[in-house]
Structure 1
Amino acid sequence: MVTLKNYMEEVVLNLLRGVLEDMDMCKCELCVMDVAALALNDLPPKYIVTEKGELYSKVNSLRNQFEVDVIASITKAAVAVKKSPRHN
């Protein structure tokens, strides 16, 4: 099966928990997904067309190119969510 995928989403989701471990903030599902959404909106999409089995190997090989920018975007998003979480 051929798939169209924004691999930046995979990169963000793979790095997200590691970045958030070092931050003193709420880690409920809503806050974590808000951080992911804000980070992804800050990063350029990187679409690939691939066979299902190739997706993860492509994502991992390309992730290194963007890792620093992704970590910076996740951190920036986490600071924003920590400052204004959408729950009490």
Structure 2
Amino acid sequence: MEVINVVEKMVWATIDDILEQKDGICKCEKCRADIVALTLNSLKPCYVVSNEGSAFVRANYLDLNLKHELTLALVHAIEIVSENPKHDKE
């Protein structure tokens, strides 16, 4: 059995939608990984062991408060990484 952080899955599933709305933001793998790491460090993890548990947590993600919290954390992380990329600005 595998232990899954459902919040991590949801962040990865959401990042592209938010990045598409932002102009002038680096979307390389390094920056994306940094954004996800910063986002996850600001959110409470939610670990599950089964696919059923994962589906239950994702269903709860539809709660607007959870979606709002995740989106705000992602936007904040995008701002930080875009101001301080770990590579030369292009």
- Output the TM-score relative to the length of structure 1: 0.86
Task: Give the aligned partner of residue 67 of structure 1.
Answer: 67
Match status 1:32 vs 2:32: yes
Q: How does 1:1-88 map to 2 (within 5 A)?
A: 2-24=1-23, 25-50=25-50, 53-54=51-52, 57-65=55-63, 66-88=66-88
Q: After the TM superposition, which of the residue ranges 63-72 and 30-39 deviates more from structure 2? A: 63-72
Gaps of 5+ in 1: none
Give percent identity, aligned residues only: 31
Gaps of 5+ in 2: none
User: How far 1:12 moved relative to its partner?
Assistant: 0.4
User: How far 1:49 moved relative to its partner?
Assistant: 2.0
Within 2, Cα distance between the matches of 1:56 and 1:47? 8
User: How far 1:56 moved relative to its partner?
Assistant: 5.2
Q: How many residues are matched?
A: 85
Higher fraction of strand: 1
Is the contact made by 1:19 and 1:75 (CA closer than 8 Å) also made in structure 2? yes
Structure 1 runs of 4+ off > 2 angstroms? Answer: 53-60
Question: Partner amino acid for 1:39?
Answer: T
Question: Superposition RMSD on alpha carbons, in Å?
Answer: 1.5
